[in-house]
Structure 1
Amino acid sequence: MVNVNLVFGTVYGSAQFTAETLVKKITALGFKAILKQPHELTGFVPNESEYLIVVCSTTGQGDIPEDIWPWFAQLKTTAPYLPKLKYSIVGLGDSSYDTFCGAAKQFDELFSELGAQALTPRLEIDATETMEPELEAIKWLTTWQAAASANKD
């Protein structure tokens, strides 16, 4: 079974809780899910033979949260070519702002620039519609699982 690395960027903890919830559910599906804490991301380049899920809230004017910013900047600067990497982005935001899910969009653009392939369309969870983003992420897992199953070598 393919490993799944999950990383998160959070301001108030919702993205972290959502990522922790996804790890439990993905493990229950039979995958080996590994949750990487922001302080563990220094030097981390996703393994192209594993899946990557980024769960990220947005802060300020569409900005990436401070806890995951160094990793984003590292990837942007070093620009590793990752053409075989399959990734998914789960964005948490508030659609009453013009910069709704701005951080998730930046991660999506970055991985596209690095040559990686989106396993699923970006999931954007709107705080004006749900107070429990982890429940929306759990619903999305059926889409993710179907895509992962279809992508087996």
Structure 2
Amino acid sequence: MSKHFEIIVGTMLGASEYVADAIAEKLEAKGYTHTIHIEPNLDNIKTDNTWVICTSTHGAGELPDNIQPFAAQLVGADLSSVNAYVIGLGDTSYDTFCFGAKEIEKLITENNGKLKADAYYIDVLEHPIPEDAAVEWFDDILANA
């Protein structure tokens, strides 16, 4: 695992940003460095650093507006050096629960990137403060890395 993490955020209302900030704090506490990308652009994100992608789902299962251009850049990209973790935020009362995160997972794996763990889908109905659940999950990831 690299010592520097690229935290990539897909958000409409800010919840994914809170998750990203909480993950960043956890990384700092463990001695890692990070860059948070609110307007992610593949040209500015190193593929040999570990990626943590925090994204919600918007509308009828789409990615948030701010991460859609990044997702388009992943199509056909060489992601063979990418190791990634995906955290999805969603609401299980919708049949498109975490479709945004699932789309990002698919784009990474279809372009030869590796998911270092199963994606973590957070149901905001069960976890109204999703950053707490995300940090607990990610702390386990770091402890076992």
TM-score category, normalised to shorter length: over 0.9
Corresponding residue number in structure 2 for 1:104: 101
5+ residue gaps, structure 1:
none
Please say if 1:74 is aligned against 2:62. no
Residue 63 of structure 1 aligns with an amino acid whose one-letter code is E
- Identity across aligned pairs (percent)? 28
Matches within 5 A, 1:114-133: 114-133=111-130
Matches within 5 A, 1:39-50: 41-44=40-43, 46-50=45-49
Residue 144 of structure 1 aligns with an amino acid whose one-letter code is I
Q: How far 1:144 moved relative to its partner?
A: 2.0
Provide runs of 4+ in structure 1 moved above 2 Å: 41-49
Structure 1 CA distance for aligned equivalents of residues 117 and 132 of structure 2: 18
Structure 2 CA distance for aligned equivalents of residues 25 and 132 of structure 1: 16
Q: How far 1:75 moved relative to its partner?
A: 1.7
- The number of aligned residues is 144
Under a length normalisation based on structure 1, what TM-score does the superposition of the two structures give? Answer: 0.88
From 69, 87, 90, give the equivalent of 1:90. Answer: 87
- State the superposition RMSD in angstroms: 1.5
Corresponding residue number in structure 2 for 1:10: 11
Q: How far 1:88 moved relative to its partner?
A: 0.5
